[in-house]
Structure 1
C-alpha cells in the first residue's frame, strides 16, 4: 500500500534536485581541493619563492604543510557531505515510491548522523589550521584573514534529530513487519 499517490510531488522533486545539486557541488569541490593540494605539494618551492619575493623575508616561510593540511581536512568534510546528500537522495526516492519505512532508511539516517557528526568534529582541526594560517597571513601587507569559530548548536541538534529519526524508522519498519506477519 502506498501512501503517496503523487510520486512527482513538488517537495520531493525539489528535495531530490537539491540533493543532486549538492552532490555535484561537493564533487567539484573535491576535485578542486585535490588539484590545489597536489599543486601546492608539487610546486611548494616555487610558491614559497614567489611569496618571499612578493612579501619579503620577514613574513616567514610559507606554511605549505598547514595549507595542504587544511585542504585535506576540507576534502574529508566535502567527501562526508557528498555521502550525506547521497543518502538523503536515496531516502527521498523511497518516500516518492511510497515506502519510506524500510530498514535501509533507518541505516541511512544513522549513517547521515555519523557523517554530520564527523563534519562537525573535522572543523576542530580546520579551525586550528586556519588560526595558524591567519597568524602567518597577519605578517603579509594588506592581508585580512579572520577565523570565525564557535559552537554550532543547530548542527549538534541536527545530529541528535537524525539519530532519533533513525530509531523511529527502525521501529516503524519492525512494526510494519510484525503487522504484515499477522495479516
Structure 2
C-alpha cells in the first residue's frame, strides 16, 4: 500500500509541474502576448473586458507559487512514506515535514484569499461571475497539521527516551 501511495504521489508531483507549467504558459500567451485579442474577443460580451485580462494576469501571479507549494506538500508526503517504510514513523523529521506541509497549505490558502479578492473585483467590474467562494476546510486542515506535527514531535521524543532506556 505504501509503495503504491508513494508512486501515486510522485506521479501527482509530475502532473503538478506539467499541468502547472502548461497553465502558466497558456495564461502568459493569452494575457501578455495577445491581450488585445482577448479583450477584442470579449468586447460586447461583458463590461470592461480589459478587467478580464487583468484578472487573468493576476491568476498567473497566484498560480506560480501554488505550484511550488503543491510540490512541497507532495515531496514531504513522499519523504514521510519513506520514513514509515523504514520503520520510523515517529521520526523527528516527520514532525518537521508535517509542519512544512502545514506552512505550504497556509500559503495556498492565503493565495486562495488573494484569488478571491481578484475574482470579486473582476466580477464587479465586468458583470461576470469569476467563480470563488470561501471555504473552511483548508483552514481546518492547517490547524490539524500543526497539531499533528506537535504530536509527532512528542512521539519522536518519547521514542528516543524509550530507546535510550533500553
Q: TM-score, normalised by structure 1?
A: 0.77
Paired with 1:97 and 1:69, the residues of 2 have a C-alpha distance of: 43
Structure 2 segments unaligned to the other structure (5+ residues): none
CA contact (8 A) 1:37 1:72 kept: no
Is 1:165–2:148 an aligned residue pair? yes
Name whichever of 106-115 and 62-71 sits farther off: 62-71
Question: Cα distance, 1:135 vs. partner?
Answer: 4.0
Equivalent residue pairs, number: 165
Pair 22,137 (structure 1): closer, same or farther in 2 beyond 3 Å: farther
Question: Following the alignment from structure 1 to structure 2, what is the Cα–Cα distance between the partners of residues 57 and 178?
Answer: 68
Distance 2:16 2:103 in 1: 18
Aligned Cα root-mean-square deviation (Å): 2.5
Structure with the largest fraction of helix: 2
Name the counterpart of 2:118: 129
Q: Which residue of 142, 145, 149 maps to 2:133?
A: 149
- State the 1:179 CA deviation: 1.9
2:70 to 78, 81, 84: 81
For residues 58 and 131 of structure 1, the distance between their equivalents in structure 2, rounded to whole angstroms, comes to 15
1:23 is the counterpart of 2:13: yes
**Structure 2 residue 103 is matched with structure 1 residue 119:** no
- 1-structure distance, mates of 2:83, 2:157: 17
Distance 1:110 1:53 in 2: 45
Alpha-carbon shift at residue 136 of structure 1 (Å): 5.0
| Superposition deviation, residue 70 in structure 1 | 1.3
Partner of 1:181: 164
